[in-house]
Amino acid sequence: MQITNPNVLKDDYEQQGFVIVNELFEKGEIAEFQRVTNELVEQSKSHQKSDTKFDLEQDHSAASPRVQRIKIPHKQSEVFGRAVRNPKMLRVLKILLGENVRFRNSKLNIKAAHGGSAVDWHQDWAFYPHTNTDLLAVGIMIDDIDEDNAPLMVVPQSHLGKTLNHHHKGIFSGSVDLKNEGIDISAAVKITGKAGSASFHHVKTLHGSSPNSSNRTRRLLLFEFAAADAWPLVDFEVYGDFSEYKEKIVIGKNTLQPRCENVDMIMPYPRPTNPDSIYRIQESRKK
Ligand SMILES: O=C(O)CCC(=O)C(=O)O
Q: How many domains does the chain have?
A: 1
Q: What does the mean pLDDT of the chain come to? A: 95
Q: Which helix (H) or strand (E) holds 282?
A: helix 278-286
The residue whose CB lies within 8 Å of the most ligand 1 atoms, and thus the one to mutate among 37, 104, 109, is 109
* pTM for this model (two decimals): 0.97
Tell how strand 18-21 and strand 198-202 pair up. antiparallel
Determine, yes or no, domain membership for 1. Answer: no
Question: Nearest CA to 174 among 51, 79, 22, 279?
Answer: 279
* 115-166 per-position pLDDT tens digit: 888 999 999 999 999 999 999 999 999 999 999 999 999 999 999 999 999 9
State yes or no: pLDDT of 200 exceeds 80.
yes
CATH of the domain at 87: 2.60.120.620
State yes or no: pLDDT of 188 exceeds 70.
yes
Mean pLDDT of 32-58: 95
Range of the domain at 102: 6-286
Determine, yes or no, domain membership for 185. Answer: yes
* 232-259 per-position pLDDT tens digit: 999 999 999 999 999 999 999 999 999 9
Determine, yes or no, domain membership for 120. Answer: yes
Please give the angle made by the CA atoms of 227, 229 and 221, to the nearest 5 degrees. 30
pLDDT band at 91 (very low <50, low <70, confident <90, very high): very high
Tell how strand 101-111 and strand 218-227 pair up. antiparallel
At 282 the pLDDT is 86
Ligand 1 centroid – CA 73 distance (Å)? 15
Assess whether the C-beta atom of 119 lies below 6 angstroms from ligand 1. Answer: yes
- Work out whether the CA dihedral 226, 232, 233, 239 comes out positive or negative: positive
Assess whether the C-beta atom of 112 lies below 6 angstroms from ligand 1. Answer: no
Determine, yes or no, domain membership for 82. Answer: yes
